[in-house]
Amino acid sequence: MSVSEKEPVSIILIAYNEAEVIEKEVEGFYREIIEKLPGSELIVAEDGSTDGTSEILRKLAGRLPIRLVQGKERKGYKQALLDALKLPRHEWILFSDTGGKFFPQNFWKMEHLRDRADLIIGVKRNRRDQYYRRFITRVFNLLVRSYFRVDVTDIDSGFRIFPRWLARRAVEDGLIFQDLITSEFTLRMLGLGVRLAEVPVTYHLRQGKSRGMPVEKIPRVVFRTLSSFPRLKKEVERLRNRRPR
């Protein structure tokens, strides 16, 4: 099947204080996917940035046909994600973290699996970020696999493809976690009994300070997340029990 015959996608990027890289990043996704996959759309949800990101995006929206969503105040990552998931026009969604961590070319390594999987996760490979972050990621994934009884390699990866119906079903009852939101998003999808595919993708050290989990925040995030495991497990089990028999 030629690229022009493939089903279009809605790309979602959530941006907060990414002035260093956001212009290059948006242009990259536009050139690599939107221009090559007719009918696709690029949604950029800007979450109350204070570093000039919002101004950069407004200028970009003046010369590129992107769907820019902005607010005067910050919602936080969780609410920004929930709101963004209401916007796609197409059935398939590509979600990517910003900060220059994932190249848009990764999409083409994954999109051909859309007829065989419902959730396609880009598994981070060749990581060059700090050792302690890689160690925490490995331990967290091990804990999640054991506690929730799921077979997934990179639960919190910020690069993934999934259908719109699945995203909306997964979040229709809200989310519990205050951090590591993508992990809960994934667990809820898996609770719905979806077909999972994982594809190795290149992961790059983010440019600038971490917006998601700076080092001083890690102990509090770990405690808060682990404390929420029992409640989320009940939610995942409830979703499993609601599957058609």
Number of domains comprising the chain: 1
pLDDT at 205: 61
Q: Considering the entire predicted model, what is its pTM?
A: 0.92
Amino acid, res. 161: I
9-15/41-46 β-pairing: parallel
pLDDT at 244: 59
pLDDT at 72: 80
Helix (H) / strand (E) element for 164: namely: helix 164-171
How far is residue 183 from each of residues 26, 156, 176, measured CA to CA in Å? 24, 5, 11
pLDDT at 207: 57
Q: What is the CATH number of the domain that holds 146?
A: 3.90.550.10
Q: In a 3-state reduction of DSSP, which class is residue 14?
A: strand
Beta bridge partners of 161: 94, 120
* CA 6 – CA 3 distance, rounded (Å): 5
Q: In a 3-state reduction of DSSP, which class is residue 181?
A: helix
pLDDT at 217: 81
Q: What is the dihedral of CA 177, 178, 184, 188, to 10 degrees?
A: 60
Q: What is the dihedral of CA 172, 178, 183, 188, to 10 degrees?
A: -20
pLDDT digit of tens for each residue in the chain (245 aa)? 667 679 999 999 999 999 999 999 999 999 999 999 999 999 999 999 999 999 999 999 999 999 999 988 899 999 999 999 999 999 999 999 999 889 999 999 999 999 999 999 999 987 777 788 888 889 999 999 999 999 999 999 999 999 999 999 999 999 999 999 999 999 999 999 999 999 999 887 665 555 555 667 888 988 999 999 999 999 999 999 876 55
Q: Which domain holds residue 210?
A: 3-241
Strands (E), the chain: 9-15, 41-46, 67-70, 92-96, 119-125, 159-163, 196-202
